[in-house]
Amino acid sequence: MTAETFEFQVEARQLLQMMVHSIYSNKDVFLRELVSNASDALDKLRIEALRDDTLGADVSDLHIEIEADKDARTLTIRDNGIGMSRDEVVGLIGTIAKSGTAEFLKKLKEARQAGDPDKAAAAEGLIGQFGVGFYSAFMVADEVTLLTRRAGESTGTRWTSTGEGTYTIETVDDAPQGTSVTLRLKPVDNDNRLFDYTSPWKIKEIVKRYSDFITWPIRLITTAGEQKDQDGEKDGGKSEPETINSRQALWARPRSEVSDEEYHELYKHISHDWTDPLETIRIHAEGTFEYQALLFFPAQPPRDLFSSGRRGVQLYVKRVLIMEECEELVPPYLRFVKGVVDAQDLSLNISREILQQDRHIQMMRRRLAKKVLSTIKEMRVKQPEKYTAFWREFGPVVKEGLLGDFENRDAILAACSFATTHDAEKTATLQEYVERMKEGQEHIFYMTGPSRTAVENSPHMEAYRDKGLEVLVLTDPVDELWVDAVPEFQGKKLRSIAKGEAELGTEEEKEQAKAEREQKQQEYGDLLEWLGKQLGDEVKEVRLSSRLTTSPACVVSDADDATPGLRNMLRAMGQ
């Protein structure tokens, strides 16, 4: 079969360029990425074989092999996992489907052009955030060859590229099942942290550091090449395979024996993220239903947080991964949580339908949600800076929980904080708001809007500012929904200052204001009628207001009407 040449999709090409001219200083991670992909492929094959016994794949000795050839200066990472079809190779390796790539590349380019070390470090952080996976091979190799055959298919595919714009693909008749990735290594350049990646010592060090917990055996084979053996004969043979990872599940080891770095590497493997997690949660449940869980909060939101994408945590049964994205274990509003749950007593081939009803799954889901929420709350109290960073990114998602998870409403509210007119720098909890409420104040006042400035400059705000009343400044689209779903907090109703008749002051003041207003309404009756006619269908009603002190007029909604921001959001959702 002749090889066909293809061009990389534009964004893929740009990313590759960056890898080739690597700006990422820690090049060792290429091996972590390739081992991680191999491990995923083995997981996938086992899960598929579990569900489909006609697959006809040999799953008796699933493993990863790293073969280093010192003389040829090649490194091969091989697995006998699920493999890829030809279309998959083109789709998965030749293009980058990840959303936000263009924007990421733009930021990175700017950072690089600026040419100062801070910006460069920021750029590195961006790559970390993006996670380039397979392409990281081009940090250390000037040519990469991937040979793969998908389980259940008869022909394989060879993909080759130097990372410079094009790749070739050819069909191969006798490829072993699974995938092998062969790197033609760049010359060693210790100054640029391009180490000798054929050195068994170096390989072991990297695997130990980043991939020790991988449950599949990682076997190292070194090719002796030109070296002479004891009899002076040339020994072109390979060394005996040596398993170089300890294969211990981190969650099964005593906490005191596991370092933070080990937890972080597990997180990176699971989440395909390159940055350390913000928070690690360990749960060890004993009793009638035993399970362990390791949960992580990412430091950065994944790009698909508000669209479809990887969801849920990995579900293991007695150390065996049975589902990669078990959505049933975490409620949708905690979808940013990554991690592992390992249960003692679940059926190995449990189906999605059964999962939803399984009482153990429901029990774990409840416990995990509570634990995650209490962790956020604790972070708020004990590590305010960390919380602030977390809340900025994930608050809008967590608040979605107020719409549906009534059982955990209090726990969610305890994790929540909101921008407020009380302090421009600091957010406040509802609890703090209530404690600061003025004598006689019956409501928790809030205003929703597109931005803090918009809310603060709103004419609705004037009277509240004058009276020294605190108003929550709610600027996330979801805010418009949860304020209706949460009717009150500690007996205090939430009230929008932009809707209908806001009640300020005491009963007496209110009575007086009402009388004044009625009088003025008569005085200005003609003007109001005229205005109403002029504005026609644009407004429902024109009325006098007592709450403006400096602005001449403002638009208000009826208590039941959607606010302008929500109308926009609903319109965006096609409603």
Shortest approach of ligand ADP to residue 44 CB, angstroms?
A: 7
**Of 76, 68, 78, 75, which is closest to residue 39 (Cα–Cα)?**
78
Please report whether residue 80 would count as binding Mg ion according to CB under 5 A.
no
d(CA 419, CA 446): 10
Quick one: 43 or 69, whose CB is closer to ligand ADP? 43
Quick one: 181 or 414, whose CB is closer to Mg ion? 181
Shortest approach of ligand ADP to residue 33 CB, angstroms?
A: 6
From the list Mg ion, ligand ADP, none, partner contacted by residue 127 (C-beta under 5 to 8 A by kind): none
Shortest approach of Mg ion to residue 115 CB, angstroms?
A: 31
Shortest approach of ligand ADP to residue 57 CB, angstroms?
A: 13
d(CA 437, CA 428): 13
Six token digits for residue 220: 């190292």
Report CA-CA distances (Å) from 102 to 118, 275, 516.
Answer: 22, 20, 59
d(CA 369, CA 405): 10
Please report whether residue 272 would count as binding ligand ADP according to CB under 6 A.
yes
Please report whether residue 133 would count as binding Mg ion according to CB under 5 A.
yes
Quick one: 133 or 163, whose CB is closer to Mg ion? 133
Give me the amino acid identity at 234.
K
Report CA-CA distances (Å) from 436 to 191, 418, 421, 507.
Answer: 59, 14, 12, 21
**Of 145, 142, 144, 141, which is closest to residue 156 (Cα–Cα)?**
145
Strands 291-297 and 313-317: unpaired
Shortest approach of Mg ion to residue 133 CB, angstroms?
A: 3
Under rule CB under 6 A, which residues in 126-155 are in contact with ligand ADP?
131, 133-134
Ranked by CB distance to ligand ADP, the top (closest) residue is: 133
Under rule CB under 5 A, which residues in 203-262 are in contact with Mg ion?
none
Please report whether residue 314 would count as binding ligand ADP according to CB under 6 A.
no
Residues binding ligand ADP: what is the number (CB under 6 A)? Answer: 16
Quick one: 140 or 413, whose CB is closer to ligand ADP? 140
Distant-in-sequence contacts of 358-362, Cβ < 8 A, 24+ apart? 360/289, 361/328, 361/329
Shortest approach of ligand ADP to residue 179 CB, angstroms?
A: 4
Shortest approach of ligand ADP to residue 437 CB, angstroms?
A: 49
Please report whether residue 179 would count as binding Mg ion according to CB under 5 A.
no
Contact characters 92-121, Mg ion, x per CB under 5 A: ------------------------------
Choose, by CB under 5 A, the member of 22, 37, 136, 300 that binds Mg ion.
37
**Of 215, 211, 183, which is closest to residue 67 (Cα–Cα)?**
183
Please report whether residue 92 would count as binding ligand ADP according to CB under 6 A.
yes
Shortest approach of ligand ADP to residue 83 CB, angstroms?
A: 6
Please report whether residue 497 would count as binding ligand ADP according to CB under 6 A.
no
**Number of other CB atoms surrounding residue 311 within 10 Å:** 16
Shortest approach of Mg ion to residue 301 CB, angstroms?
A: 19
How buried is residue 266: exposed, middle or buried, by Cβ count under 10 Å (0-12/13-18/19+)? buried
From the list Mg ion, ligand ADP, none, partner contacted by residue 481 (C-beta under 5 to 8 A by kind): none
Rg (CA), the chain: 30
Interface segment toward ligand ADP; rule CB under 6 A; list 81-89, 137-145, 315-323, 413-421: 81-89
Residues binding Mg ion: what is the number (CB under 5 A)? Answer: 2
Q: Which residues contact 424 (CB under 8 A, 6 or more apart)?
A: 452
d(CA 244, CA 63): 12
Please report whether residue 377 would count as binding ligand ADP according to CB under 6 A.
no
Please report whether residue 312 would count as binding ligand ADP according to CB under 6 A.
no
Binding site for Mg ion (CB under 5 A): 37, 133
Binding site for ligand ADP (CB under 6 A): 33, 37-38, 41, 79, 81-84, 92-93, 131, 133-134, 179, 272
